[in-house]
């Protein structure tokens, strides 16, 4: 059988077949210049310029694979792809042979004959890596238990809209050292800001990840004192105490109770914006007063998932002739 590109020519067929696919797997996997290029594309999309004006993905199809529930990731990717001129196929584990024993590699090879890019939201980072290794089209990380790079791209975009360049600034994280916190560590190494992590010692991100970031030149400060972390910060960030892969339990909540982002804590960072990737568990990791308060930019942050991911899609499928 002829390759898909020979059967169904498209405006980007030459770039898709002539070069290795551009994957977006983690912030740590790309250099600062590339990440800046993605943010520039996303900002242009938001302004109705560049990719939004030219609709470069006409005739292209994105497969969205969800092995975990999603609201923002699904809607933002669907809308971004369609606004860029493309189409979307949404798949869940229950609908796919992947959930019935077909290998990840076989799934990748088959989907590469049907679609032009694949987004995977899953538990296993290894599954994402295997998919990317076998696919001949770009693969995008829509979330794993280890990282959430699309979220952090939206967060950096949001920070810079409200506070200016993030390089040299201070971001404070309070709570569980989960996948979003790990992507913030990646971002600190690539964008050049100080990251203060206030977590219980038992819920800190892995020591090897901290060592990697510091070796890359990042300033990472670890503390168990949330007040020390947020004092004078430019942004305060938190996330749910129980992630989708975690078993809920009283002990976790007891550990994290002192790290709740409330009005008293935010008083130590009067000039900071507040970020949360949502969904929020009101009254747990954050109070209503903070989430709905004047320092909160969570709705801008949620909107920017759309624009940042448009940048990711435009970059992943950018024609060779347009690449810097």
- Active-site residue set: 121, 148, 151, 239, 277, 305
Asked if 218 contacts 196 with a C-beta cutoff of 8 angstroms, the reply is no
* Cα separations in angstroms, 50 against 40, 92, 310: 9, 32, 11
Give the helix/strand (H/E) hosting 301: helix 298-316
CA 48 – CA 174 distance, rounded (Å): 35
Task: Provide the strand spans (E) within the chain.
Answer: 61-66, 87-92, 117-121, 139-143, 170-174, 194-198, 219-223, 235-238, 273-276
CA 183 – CA 170 distance, rounded (Å): 16
Q: What is the DSSP string of 247-296?
A: PP-HHHHHHHGGG-B-HHHHTT-TT-EEEE-S---BTTTB-HHHHTSTTB
What number of helices (H) and strands (E) belong to the chain?
Answer: 15, 9
316: helix, strand or coil:
helix
């Amino acid at each position: 059988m002829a390759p898909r590109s020979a059967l169904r020519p498209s405006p980007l067929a030459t770039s898709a077949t002539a070069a290795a696919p551009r994957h977006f797997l983690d912030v740590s996997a790309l250099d600062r210049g590339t990440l800046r290029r993605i943010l520039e594309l996303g900002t242009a999309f938001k302004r109705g310029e560049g990719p939004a004006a030219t609709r470069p993905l006409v005739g292209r199809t994105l497969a969205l694979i969800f092995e975990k529930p999603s609201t923002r990731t699904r809607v933002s990717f669907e809308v971004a792809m369609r606004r860029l001129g493309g189409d979307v196929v949404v798949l869940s584990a229950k609908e796919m042979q992947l959930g019935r024993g077909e290998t990840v590699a076989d799934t990748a090879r088959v989907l590469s004959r049907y679609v032009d890019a694949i987004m995977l939201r899953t538990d296993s980072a290894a599954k994402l890596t295997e998919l990317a290794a076998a696919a001949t089209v770009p693969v995008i990380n829509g979330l794993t238990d280890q990282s959430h790079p699309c979220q952090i791209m939206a967060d950096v975009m949001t920070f810079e809209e409200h506070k200016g360049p993030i390089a040299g600034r201070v971001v404070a994280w309070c709570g569980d050292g989960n996948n979003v916190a790990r992507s913030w560590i990646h971002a600190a190494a690539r964008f050049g800001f100080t990251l203060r992590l206030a977590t219980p010692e038992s819920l800190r991100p892995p020591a090897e990840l901290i060592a990697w970031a510091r070796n890359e030149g990042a300033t990472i400060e670890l503390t168990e004192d949330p007040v020390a972390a947020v004092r004078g910060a430019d942004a305060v960030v938190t996330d749910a105490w129980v992630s989708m892969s975690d078993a809920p339990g009283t002990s976790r909540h007891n550990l994290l109770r002192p790290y709740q982002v409330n009005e008293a804590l935010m008083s130590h960072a009067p000039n900071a914006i507040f970020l949360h990737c949502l969904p929020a568990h009101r009254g747990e990791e954050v109070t209503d007063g903070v989430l709905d308060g004047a320092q909160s930019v969570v709705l801008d942050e949620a909107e920017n998932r759309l624009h940042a991911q448009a940048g990711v899609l435009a970059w992943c499928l950018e024609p060779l002739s347009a690449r810097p």
